[in-house]
Chains A and B, each alone.
Chain A
Amino acid sequence: MGKLIYYELLKTFLKKRTYLGFLIVAIIVPLVEVAMKLEGGRFLQLATRRLQEDFFFVGSLFNGWFVSYQIMNSLWVHIPLLISFVAGDQLAGEATAGTYRLLLIRPVSRTRIFLAKVATTLLYTLLFVVFLGVISIGLALALLGGGDMIVIERGILVLEESSVAWRFLLAYLFAVWSMMTVASIALFFSSFVENAIGPIVATIGVLIVFMVLTVLPLEIFDPIRDGLFTKHMILWQKVFNDPIPWDEIWKSVTVLGIYTGVSCVAAWAIFVRRDILS
């Protein structure tokens, strides 16, 4: 099994498209962070303009932690797209290239090949989110330094610097978990189509529909909202609440886990049964 995973990783990481997401992150994150540094605290001032009418701010809360949080917040809609580029290609890419005919005539069960694909997809997701975290937090701290972190949502919350690092660690762990759900959905679509674009488009389509249903303020959607994975994808934000709402977090972890599991099982069932006609 180790050998199968090794060669799946080799195939994935020797493919140029695998690095597209890394390249985009490597361009956009430094660009935004350098721009924020050049703008000084204007961004924070704009964001807290209303609050400043009622409160008096002492010291600078515009630091690396604040910027990292903002980056995570704003990129989180786009990261699934980049994840689906690779995850959606895992099975459909073989169909497109005709290499199913190379792989699936060997004395290895399709289940083992599928498991190697799943492991590769999840490992890619992990590496990608870790890369985003390292480059985003590392550069922001290097450029702007640390300090207490201000969280502006419905109200304002200042988190002590001593608790910020582990909150980010937890946030990225939960981010990996939610991105694995996206990757699994892309893998599911990848299991029954013959071209590599289809799963990407389908995954983005599902994301858009689910996101719209999640945020649309219509009561008719209330009963299903809790079951939409997009509602739970932002669970990482909750670790920046005080106190941390662990009940909500575990509920989100469970819902996302169910989506991941069901997507993978469905993809497996299709993959092991399908006729290879490409």
Chain B
Amino acid sequence: MIANSILRTYNLGKQYKKRWAVRSLNLEVYRGDVFGFLGPNGAGKSTTIRMLLSLIKPGTGEVELFGHRLHSHREQALRSVGGIVEKPDFYLYLSAVKNLEVVGALSGGATRARIMEVLELVGLKGREFDAVKTFSHGMKQRLGIAQALLADPELVILDEPTNGLDPQGMKEVRQLILHLARDRKKTIFLSSHLLNEIELVATRMAIINRGELVVQGDVQQLLSQSEQSVVVEGSPATAIRKVLKSLRRLVSSSSEKDGIFDVEVQVKDIPALNKALVRGGVNVRALIPKRSLEQYFLSLTEGQTSDR
């Protein structure tokens, strides 16, 4: 095992009847990563997370956490792991504090001070003694994060933590994730089908589709390797057309609508494009990158046919 790697899967797979929910998945998460685990609904993200947290036994392969094989050394492997799997469910008739006490008892015990600390961290102070049945979805989601953090784990696995939240709630959860990663030095494994969420917080990522790994690596690196769509705004249009024609080597395609140009170009070539436009006498008002993780994701996953 590489010293820095704290989560690895080896040919991880799970089959339900004849359908593979996850197949030959090899993931690697390093200490300090905010690891985005991306895939459309039904791609196998939750099945993978259930296998990582021992809720589901893998059909093939295995999971290694902190150097311990999950199958044979479950307790050691999970000692420094906290998580939420899908929607956070609790004992609705118990208070937030009592729910965390129950969870704490299974994680070696949690003091009242620690419980209050995590409740404060997720913004539930003041409601700690209320029954969870009185909580909104957003509050339950935050309590879910609190229970994941209770035992002060090094690795926090969050499965769609912003599901069902309003934009403000989503922003708060994103900020919390960044705070955990930057200030508390947690390694975060974040699954989501919301691409912008991963783009905003993740340092490394894996994309999964139909149960299989499509790509894995550093977010910025992966995006820079891809083609980027750039909107060119400037004048005169004739000069822009001329420059784009002369840059056929860099620009794979371009289109024009109402004097605004959509240009397909490698991310690394954007500065060269800018320079050429200026040299060609174009008054460049804006170069707006349009390419996002979403487009990248779609370019990787679209057109894949199901052969299972």
Residues of A within 8 A of B90 (CB): 97, 99, 102
A4 and B56 in contact (CB under 8 A), knowing A97-B91, A101-B86? no
Most chain B CB within 10 A, of A97, A99, A105, A276, is at: A105
Segment among B104-112, B120-128, B242-250, B279-287 that sits at the interface with chain A: B104-112
Task: List, in ascending order, chain B residues with CB within 8 A of A106's CB.
Answer: 78, 103, 106-107
CB of A140, distance to nearest CB on chain B (Å): 35
Do A11 and B94 have beta carbons less than 8 Å apart? yes
* B56 nearest CB neighbor, chain A only: A275
User: Does B93 contact A15, Cβ atoms closer than 8 Å?
Assistant: yes
The residue on B at minimum CB distance from A101 is: B85
Closest chain B residue to A104, Cβ basis:
B55
Q: How large is the interface on B (under 10, 10 to 19, 20 to 34, 35 or more residues)?
A: 35 or more
Chain A: interface residue count, which band?
20 to 34
Closest 10 CB pairs of A and B: A98-B89, A106-B106, A276-B55, A105-B53, A107-B78, A275-B56, A107-B75, A101-B85, A3-B105, A107-B79
Which A residue sits closest to B99, measured CB to CB? Answer: A102
Contact with A along B280-308 (1 / 0, CB 8 A): 00000000000000000000000000000
Tell whether, in the assembled complex, residue B78 and residue A97 are in contact, meaning their CB atoms are under 8 Å apart: no
What chain B residues lie within 8 Å of A3 (beta carbons)?
105, 109
Chain A CB count within 10 A is highest, among B53, B76, B86, B106, for B106
Q: Does A250 belong to the interface (CB within 8 Å)?
A: no
Q: Could you tell me the distance between the alpha carbons of A102 and B146 in the complex, rounded to whole angstroms? A: 12
Q: How far is the CB of B61 from chain A (nearest CB, A)?
A: 15
A101 touches B108 (CB 8 A): no
Task: Across the interface, name the chain A residue whose C-beta is closest to B83.
Answer: A105
CB 8 Å contact bits of A9-42 with B (1 = contact, 0 = none): 0110011100000000000000000000000000
Instruction: List, sorted by A's number, 21 A–B pairs whose CB atoms are closer than 8 Å.
Output: A7-B105, A11-B94, A14-B93, A98-B87, A100-B55, A101-B55, A101-B89, A102-B99, A102-B147, A103-B102, A104-B54, A104-B55, A105-B55, A105-B85, A106-B103, A107-B78, A107-B108, A109-B75, A275-B50, A275-B56, A276-B56
A142 contacts chain B at the CB level, 8 A cutoff: no
Query: Does A273 reach chain B (CB closer than 8 Å)?
Result: yes
Interface residues of B (CB under 8 A from A): 50, 53-57, 74-79, 81, 83, 85-94, 98-99, 101-103, 105-109, 147
Contact A276 B50, CB 8 Å, known A11-B91, A11-B94, A98-B89? yes
Chain A positions within 8 Å of B, measured between CB atoms, are 3-4, 6-7, 10-11, 14-16, 97-109, 113, 273, 275-277
Residues of chain A contacted by B89 (CB below 8 angstroms)? 97-99, 101-102
Given the complex, which residues of A lie within 8 Å of B79, measured CB to CB? 107
Chain A, Cβ-Cβ closest to B103: A102
Given A99-B89, A105-B83, A275:B57 Cβ within 8 A: yes
Q: Which residue of A lies closest to B84 (CB)?
A: A101
User: How far apart are the CA atoms of A15 and B98 in the complex, in Å?
Assistant: 13
> How far, in angstroms, from A108 to B105 measured CA to CA in the complex?
10
Q: How far is the CA of A276 from the CA of B108 in the complex (A)?
A: 23
Q: Are A11 and B102 in contact (CB under 8 A)?
A: yes
Task: Determine the distance from Cα of A3 to Cα of B108 in the docked complex, in whole angstroms.
Answer: 10
Residues of B with C-beta under 8 A to A97: 89-92
CB distance from A20 to the nearest CB of B (A): 14
